[in-house]
Every structure is written in C-alpha cells, then in structure tokens.
C-alpha cells in the first residue's frame, strides 16, 4: 500500500469520524417537535429521523461502533505511513500518535460537533439516510453490544428512569425562552399550566375579610344596592352570620325572575359547595365544572368561613389576571425602579419572591402575612425589615393589614459592602 493510498484512507476515515461525531450531537440536541411537524407534512427524511431517534440505543451504538472503527483504522494506517516515511518504528509511532490526536480532536470531534449543535435539525435531515445505511450494515455488531447491555442491566439493576420531572420541564422552557425559540408570554403560560397541579385553594382564595355577601333576610333594596356598589355578578348569601353561608344569588336571577320586596332570597338562591384550603385547585376546577358552579366557600379547620374561591380565580392562575369593565385594575407587583417594587399586601408571596428569583417558601401565603411573620406583630406604616436580601418598608396600612409596601433588592449592595470590608481588613 503506497503513501498516496494511505493518505486517502486516512482522509476518508477523518471525514467519517467527523460525520459520526456530528450525527451524535445532532440526534441528541435536535428539536423533535419541529422535525415531527415536518414528518407529518410528508418529509420522508424527517419521518426516518424520528424513527431512528425512537430507538436511540441502537442509533448511538451504531454511531459509536462506526466512529471507533474509523478512528482506529485511521490511527493504524497513520502509524504505517509515518513509520515508512521516517524509517523508524518508535519515532514514526510517536509522531503518528501526536498528529492523529490533534487531527481527530480538531476535525473529527470538536469542529463537527460545534457545527452540528448550531443547526441540529438540518444535519439530522441530512444524516438520517446515511446513518440508517450504517445501522443496517452494522446490525450484527450492534446486536452483540445490545445483548451485552442487557446482561449489564440484569447484573447491576439500575434504578428505573422516572421520566422528565416538573423542574426539568420548566428548565427546558426557560432555555427555549433564552434562545429565542419561545416567546416569554407563551413560556409563562406553559409554566403556569405545569405548576397548576401543585397549587392549593389556600394559595388563591379571597380571604373572609374581603368577602362581599348579603343576609338571607335582606330586602330587595339592600341586595340591589350591594350588587350596584360592588359590581359583582354573584353574591354569597348567609344565614345569621358569614360563617353560615347557605347559597349564592346571581345578578341575572335577582333582576330577571320578577324578584320583589316581598320575596325571599331563598327562592332564587343557588346551591354552594364547601372546600378546604388544602384542596388542589385542579380537583376543585373539575368539581365546579361538573356541578356547573362558579364559586365555592372555603372553610377553615374550625368549620368557619375562611374565604371564597371562584372559577375566575382558578383560570387566572393559568392565563394571568382577567379584568372586566367593572374591575378596578390593580397591579399587585409594580416595578418603579431597578430592583425596586411597590407590592400590594394581598400579592402572593410566592410570586413576589419569584420576581426577585428567590427560591424560598415562607409559611405565609401573601405579602401581608409575610410581613406579620417576620415582624412578629401587626405591621404599621413606617415599619421596615430585611429578609432574603430584600429591604421591605410598609408604606400604607388599612386597619389590620398592609395595603402597600416597597421592596428593594439590596443583595448586590450587601455583596459590595462585604467586598469593601474584606479589602479594608486586608
């Protein structure tokens, strides 16, 4: 075998090594949804790529076998070439090892993998027919390795794969947002849907203090005035006190069914369901849908009314705030400067901490409860505290609760102060 033929064989092996490396990267990083859509539109290469990826063990075995064969062959031929040219076995083997290592790393591994990662879908479509050909001709060797793999599984019994976790799904969505493949609004909607099953009624309900209700024996004018003043289309009806809510009166029933001052609310009151704060909202959503209701009464552990939760409250956890023409639009978390926010006392503390990328879970459900928890007393206007690297100042209170607070992210300034202190100590 002459030097010219040896160089040709080495070159072909390096090209094949680059191909196998790029194929491995592209099949492990390509967007399956995008390629699957192409397959559904009749793209045969895309359909083949999906079939190959579904049997990933066989695919990766084929790639590794092919890559190792061409790399070993290139190394062997290179050794013969340099030994023949340098007329020295030791020196030829040494030079061959150095040269082939650099060539394979640069042109057979790093470069093709980098290029394939930038356009994995395009390379998958190009590579699918070729790698399928290699899969067919290397089937006997791949079969031996698959048997070996099954034997290892029987011996070591690896733990079962639990699939993709919720945290991993959210990380995938965040990466898609950063790479520009997914709009931020769409990403937030998907993340809300994923986290939906974890939410409980206690995370979203309207507390007792904010309930607008009417007494069972209220007059026509009294009920009419509450509807007019509140703008609500449904009102809980209580017997005696708000701990004994017996039903719900609908605006359209009140005005459309010839209700008069002599009638009692019982005649138009709709039934109500009672739920615990610990009930999952996805279960409650199903109950409300099955019973064709829009509101549930939330009970505490003592059997008293803790608050109410509506169908709208549940849907807002997926699609965000829903405002109608009667709602006063309130921005619960409003940015007024870099790292500075005005926060409503009723804002979800989980959403507040998420705004600052803080992974903590206080016992309180809203910002008002968090302030009470940290201060150890009823918050008053002017009170302040620092928690989780956030400086909080109570701006306005209303009776027993916080209306608004200013939250400033001081984590950066704390780090700077620490650095200055270290420099002074040095």
The pLDDT tens digits of the residues spanning 287-312 come to 888 888 888 999 888 888 888 988 88
Structure tokens at 420: 């200055």
Q: Are strands 234-238 and 245-250 parallel, antiparallel or unpaired?
A: antiparallel
| Domain ranges (residues) in the chain | 3-156, 166-198, 201-319, 333-414
Cα distances (Å, whole numbers) of residue 324 to 213, 231, 232, 346, 385:
20, 10, 11, 20, 36
Q: What are phi and psi of 270, to 5 degrees?
A: -90, 155
CATH architecture assignment, domain 333-414: 2-Layer Sandwich (3.30)
Which comes out higher in pLDDT, residue 27 or 150? Answer: 27
Which comes out higher in pLDDT, residue 194 or 393? Answer: 393
Q: How much of the chain exceeds pLDDT 70, in percent?
A: 85
Average pLDDT on 18-31 reads 90
Residue (of 59, 66, 3) closest to 27 by Cα position? 59
* Strand ordering across the sheet containing 234-238: 214-215, 234-238, 245-250
Average pLDDT on 367-377 reads 87
Upper half-sphere CA count for residue 81 (Cβ side, 13 Å): 21
Per-residue pLDDT for 9 more than 60?
Answer: yes
Long-range contact set of residues 86-91: C-beta below 8 Å, sequence gap at least 24: none
Contact call for residues 404 and 395 (beta carbons, < 8 A) = yes
Count Cβ atoms within 10 A of the Cβ of residue 179 and give its class: 0-12 exposed, 13-18 middle, 19 or more buried: exposed
Q: Sorting pLDDT into bands at 50, 70 and 90, what band is 124?
A: very high
Looking at residue 14, its pLDDT comes to 92
Count Cβ atoms within 10 A of the Cβ of residue 286 and give its class: 0-12 exposed, 13-18 middle, 19 or more buried: exposed
Rounded Cα distance, 58 and 308, in Å = 56
The pLDDT tens digits of the residues spanning 198-255 come to 778 888 888 888 888 998 888 888 888 888 888 888 899 998 888 889 889 888 888 8
Contact call for residues 275 and 282 (beta carbons, < 8 A) = no
Looking at residue 195, its pLDDT comes to 67
Q: Sorting pLDDT into bands at 50, 70 and 90, what band is 133?
A: very high
CATH code at 201-319: 3.10.580.10
Rounded Cα distance, 405 and 349, in Å = 12
Rounded Cα distance, 259 and 72, in Å = 91
Average pLDDT on 182-208 reads 75
Which residues does residue 247 pair with via DSSP β-bridges, in sequence order? Answer: 237
Q: Fold identical between 201-319 and 333-414?
A: no
Per-residue pLDDT for 414 more than 60?
Answer: no
Rounded to 10 degrees, the C-alpha dihedral 135/136/137/138 comes to 40
Average pLDDT on 178-191 reads 68
Looking at residue 130, its pLDDT comes to 92
Average pLDDT on 275-282 reads 88
Q: Sorting pLDDT into bands at 50, 70 and 90, what band is 160?
A: low
The pLDDT tens digits of the residues spanning 62-92 come to 888 889 999 899 888 888 888 888 888 888 8
Query: Mean pLDDT, the chain, as a whole number?
Result: 82
The SS3 of residue 87 is: coil
Looking at residue 324, its pLDDT comes to 54
């Amino acid at each position: 075998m002459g030097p010219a033929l040896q160089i040709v064989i080495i070159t072909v092996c390096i090209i094949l090594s680059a191909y196998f490396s790029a194929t491995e990267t592209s099949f492990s990083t390509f967007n399956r949804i995008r390629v699957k859509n192409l397959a559904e539109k009749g793209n045969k290469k895309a359909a083949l790529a999906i079939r190959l990826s579904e049997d990933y063990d066989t695919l990766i075995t084929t790639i590794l076998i092919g890559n190792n064969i061409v790399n070993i062959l290139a190394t062997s031929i290179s050794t013969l070439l340099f030994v023949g040219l340098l007329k020295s076995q030791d020196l030829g083997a040494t030079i061959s090892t150095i040269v082939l290592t650099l060539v394979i790393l640069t042109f057979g591994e790093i470069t093709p993998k980098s290029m394939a990662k930038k356009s994995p879908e395009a390379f998958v479509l190009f590579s699918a027919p070729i790698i399928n050909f290699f899969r067919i001709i290397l089937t006997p060797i791949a079969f031996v390795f698959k048997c070996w793999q099954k034997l290892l599984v029987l011996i070591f019994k690896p733990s079962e794969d639990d699939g993709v976790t919720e945290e991993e799904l959210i990380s995938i969505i965040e990466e898609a947002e950063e790479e520009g493949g997914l709009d931020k609004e769409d990403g937030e909607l998907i993340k809300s849907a994923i986290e939906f099953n974890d939410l409980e009624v206690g995370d979203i309900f309207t507390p007792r203090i904010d309930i607008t209700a009417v007494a069972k024996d209220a007059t026509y004018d009294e009920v009419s005035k509450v509807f007019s003043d509140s703008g609500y289309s449904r009102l809980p009806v209580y017997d005696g006190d708000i701990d004994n809510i017996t039903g719900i009166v609908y605006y359209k029933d009140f005005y459309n069914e010839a209700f008069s001052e002599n009638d009692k609310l019982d005649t138009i009151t709709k039934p109500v369901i009672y739920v615990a704060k610990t009930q999952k909202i996805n279960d409650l959503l199903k109950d409300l849908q099955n019973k064709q209701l829009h509101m549930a009464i939330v009970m505490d552990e003592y059997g008293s009314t803790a608050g109410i939760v509506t169908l709208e409250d549940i849907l807002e956890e997926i699609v965000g705030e829903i405002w109608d023409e009667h709602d006063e639009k309130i921005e619960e978390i409003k940015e007024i400067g870099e790292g500075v926010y005005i926060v409503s006392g009723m804002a979800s503390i989980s959403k507040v901490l998420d705004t600052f990328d803080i992974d903590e879970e206080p016992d309180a459900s809203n910002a008002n409860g968090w302030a009470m928890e940290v201060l150890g007393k009823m918050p008053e206007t002017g009170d302040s505290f620092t928690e989780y690297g956030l400086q909080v100042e109570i701006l306005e209170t209303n009776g027993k609760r916080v209306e608004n607070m200013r939250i400033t992210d001081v984590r950066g300034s704390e780090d700077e102060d620490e650095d200055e202190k270290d420099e002074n100590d040095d």
